[in-house]
Amino acid sequence: MEKKRFKYQINHFLSIQPINFHAATMSRKLLIEHNIPPAVFHRDRTLEEGNPDDIPLERLEIYAVILGVSTAQLLGDPDS
């Protein structure tokens, strides 16, 4: 079975966070601090390549700040 390829690198950068910071932690932080529901975060981080939907830049920037990366890195830009 072929591995799913996601449109954004959110899961990758989430996986390299400190051990006590994971998807549920980020979901709570997004809900409390930015009013982004967990279901929206889950949908965003599981968008597969080829999906025509995009994450709004403002929300992508919030994810980048929390994860300590740039939006270019979340977009998978190899030069970032």
Assess if residue 15 is contained within a domain. Answer: yes
DSSP string, 14-64: HHTS-TT--HHHHHHHHHHHH---HHHHHHHHTPBTT-S----HHHHHHHH
Q: What pLDDT shows up at residue 77?
A: 78
**Token pair recorded at residue 10:** 């959110």
Q: What pLDDT shows up at residue 4?
A: 78
Total structural domains in the chain? 1
Q: What pLDDT shows up at residue 52?
A: 92
Task: Please say whether the beta carbons of 8 and 76 come within 8 A.
Answer: yes
User: 24-27: long-range contacts (C-beta < 8 A, 24 or more apart)?
Assistant: 26/66, 26/67
- Domain ranges, residue 30: 10-74
Assess if residue 30 is contained within a domain. Answer: yes
Ordered per-residue pLDDT tens for the chain, 80 residues: 667 789 999 999 999 999 999 999 999 999 999 999 999 999 999 999 999 999 999 999 999 999 999 999 999 876 76
Assess if residue 80 is contained within a domain. Answer: no
